[in-house]
Structure 1
Amino acid sequence: MSTAAALIGLVLAVFGARMLVTGTAPGMIARSFRTPRQAGGYHLLFGTAVLVFVLGATQLTELAAMIATLVAVAMVAVAVVYFRPGSRSRDHEE
């Protein structure tokens, strides 16, 4: 389980970094976020948070694991608040 979760976190982080570097996002994701930068930041923070959580839970002592969990939750909170998905402003001409 922890290896699969770490792999998912790594894939999300790399995917987010790629969007930030290239400045483009795949179609469905581009429609869900206002800019490719927001999409990249959201995925990068979520992926890194998953990695921090998994590594903290599996590799560290209890206190360090708790701190890693709090850091991961804070990263997710930043991703949800700052880079939250939302549709781009659209002109509704009917």
Structure 2
Amino acid sequence: MSTAAALIGLVLTVFGARILVTGHAPALIARSFRTPREAGLYHLLFGVALLIFVLGTTQLTDVAAITATVIAVGLVAVAVVYFRPGSRSRSHHVD
């Protein structure tokens, strides 16, 4: 389980970083976010949070694992609050 979760976290991190570097997101992703930057940060934060959580729970002592978990939850909270898909109204001009 932890290996699969770490792999998913790594894929999300690389995917988010690629969007941020290139400035382009796949069409399906781009439609869900206002900007490619928001899409990239959303996926990057989720990926890093998952990596921190998995590494913390599998490799660290109890106190460090709890700290890693709190940091991971904080990163997910930032992603959901600031970069959530469809979280802000999109401006559409109706003529």
Q: Do the two structures share a fold, i.e. TM-score over 0.5?
A: yes
Aligned residues: 93
Which residue in 2 is equivalent to 1:90? 92
Moved over 6 A (4+): none
Residue 26, structure 1, aligned to residue 30, structure 2: no
Correspondence list, 1:61-80, <5 A: 61-80=61-80
Aligned residue identity for 1:29: I
SS of residue in 1 equivalent to 2:44: helix
Q: Deviations over 1:5-48 (max 9, x none)?
A: 00000000000000000000000100000000000000000000
Partner of 1:14: 14
Deviation for aligned residue 1:89: 2.9
The CA distance in 2 between the partners of 1:5 and 1:91, in whole Å, is 42
Q: Which runs of 5+ in 1 are unaligned?
A: none
Q: For residues 29-68 of structure 1, what are the structure 2 equivalents within 5 Å?
A: 29-68=29-68
Q: How far did residue 92 of structure 1 move?
A: 5.0
Q: Distance in 1 between matches of 2:28 and 2:90?
A: 12
Gaps of at least 5 residues in structure 2 are: none
TM-score by length of 1: 0.94
Q: TM-score, normalised by structure 2?
A: 0.93
Matches of 1:92 and 1:33, distance apart in 2: 20
